[in-house]
Structure 1
Amino acid sequence: MSENQQLSTNNYQPKLKVCGLTKLNQIQELISMKIDYLGFIFYEKSPRYVLNHLNLNQISEINHQGKVGVFVNENLEKIVEISEKAKLNFIQLHGDENDDYILELRQKLNPEIGIIKVIRVGSQKSEVRREIGKVFDHAQTDNQKPTTINYLLFDTDSKAFGGTGKTFDWNILNEIEIPIPYFLSGGISLDNIHQLSIIKHQPIALDINSKFEIEPGNKDLEKIKRFVNLLNSPKGTT
């Protein structure tokens, strides 16, 4: 698919999250582009570890309502402390956090801060179902919707906890029950976005990262602009 083709999904237009941000000038440019979610990685082993580039006060001063802090199996008190000091709007849990962990985090966290739980997707849909069940155990009674998690995020499984630049088989999403709105991540690019139309239950947002970088943490803003224009193009135009 060429860059001047567009997404054909009956006027469906997902929100957009740009993750792995490290540069204030790029962040301001993304804000001017009206990007919906800004992702900051607080995982020390990541090449996009934000605290190697920005401090919590600098992040707190970024005027945006969609600041997402990404954590991997982190200490609960540390998440709460960072969320307050950086004035985060969402916490994204990208590790092996289970239902009990998430419930305790919800109790400690400012109630205005949303929680996004990542489900890492391999090749087995049964494994994906099991992972979804693990984080919703407390919500299975009385068929009530879970209240601790605001969104799921499906990403390609990786020992490095994301950032692979690889996609998983999106058809898996058609074969599982997705109980709440979700973000789609994992190797999304200008070349494969047209394939989004195969998904019956569409994501509320797309999460882009490594396919839109010059190097880890240094975003290719022109490529992101082309992606935004592609998403915003009216159906049937070129």
Structure 2
Amino acid sequence: MKVKICGMKYPDNILEVGSLLPHYMGFIFWEKSSRYFDGVIPELPKSIKKVGVFVNESTKVILAKAQKYNLQAIQLHGHESVEFCQELKNKIDNTIEIIKVLSVDDSFDFDVLKLFETVCDYFLFDTKGKLPGGNGTTFDWKVLEKYPSNKPFFLSGGIGIEEMEAVKEIAKTNLPLYAIDVNSKFEIEPGLKNIEKLDSFKNNLKTLNL
């Protein structure tokens, strides 16, 4: 089970989190976010993939940020169309992963996934809320029983240490759960992560043999 720690903001904290060796580290390039990143990413272990998180941004800006920050993945967290994703896929380096976010509630229509199958590398399921992300609440993971695809996905939305048992249960299923994405439940303040809580979370995942 891979771990993505999102919403990083402060250089010293980025280095501390980097020492835990998460598989992915997310930087939010949406200016309205309290976790908006516009700084310098310190040098990180090469095993950590840097993810740029964008909300309804132009391909021009995404490509510029990908080059500036040497991103290994792009997370599309807005209402990006299939055509937009295809255009981006055609323009970026083919080694950069595209993660398409879908905001989920009890009435989510999984049929929309079919349209995005060929234009992204992963899906990410987050809780539908007032903000594009970072709402700090979980959705009912039972809706994922309807997941019709074999494409691996990230699970996000208010996941903290309290959700470990639920993570364990969903990991036992045949769903292609690829990674757990954490953010606000591990923060001291927006963008500043609690290292001890993150370390405990990662160690708990290891004990589950995920």
TM-score by length of 2: 0.92
Tell me if the contact between 2:15 and 2:42 (Cα under 8 Å) persists in the aligned partners. no
Distance in 2 separating the partners of 1:193 and 1:209:
15
Query: Pairwise mapping of residues 52-67 of structure 1 onto structure 2 (< 5 A)?
Result: 54=39, 58-59=40-41, 61-64=43-46, 65-67=48-50
Q: Report the Cα offset of residue 159 of structure 1.
A: 2.9
Structure 2: segments with no counterpart, 5+ residues = none
1:167 pairs with 132, 138, 143, which one? 138
Instruction: Give CA-to-partner distance per residue, 1:156-212, whole Å, 9 cap, x none.
Output: 012310101100010111112133111000011111121124432151110000000
Tell me if the contact between 1:95 and 1:118 (Cα under 8 Å) persists in the aligned partners. yes
Aligned to 1:210: 184
Distance in 2 separating the partners of 1:184 and 1:70:
15
Aligned to 1:143: none
Aligned to 1:186: 157
Structure 1: segments with no counterpart, 5+ residues = 1-13, 137-145
Distance in 2 separating the partners of 1:42 and 1:82:
9
Tell me the C-alpha RMSD between the 2 structures.
Answer: 1.6
Q: What percentage of aligned pairs have identical amino acids? A: 41
1:77 pairs with 52, 55, 60, which one? 60
Tell me if the contact between 1:153 and 1:184 (Cα under 8 Å) persists in the aligned partners. yes
- Cα distance change on mapping 1:197 and 1:60 into 2, 3 Å: closer
Aligned to 2:148: 177
Aligned to 1:230: 204
Distance in 2 separating the partners of 1:234 and 1:82:
36
Aligned to 2:12: 25
1:123 pairs with 106, 116, 121, which one? 106
Helix, strand or coil: the match of 1:33?
Answer: coil
Residue 135 (str. 1) matches residue 116 (str. 2):
yes
Aligned length: 205
Tell me which amino acid in the other structure corresponds to 2:201.
F
Tell me which amino acid in the other structure corresponds to 1:132.
L
Tell me if the contact between 1:213 and 1:219 (Cα under 8 Å) persists in the aligned partners. yes
TM-score by length of 1: 0.81
Q: Which runs of 4+ in 1 moved over 6 A?
A: none
Distance in 1 separating the partners of 2:52 and 2:8:
10
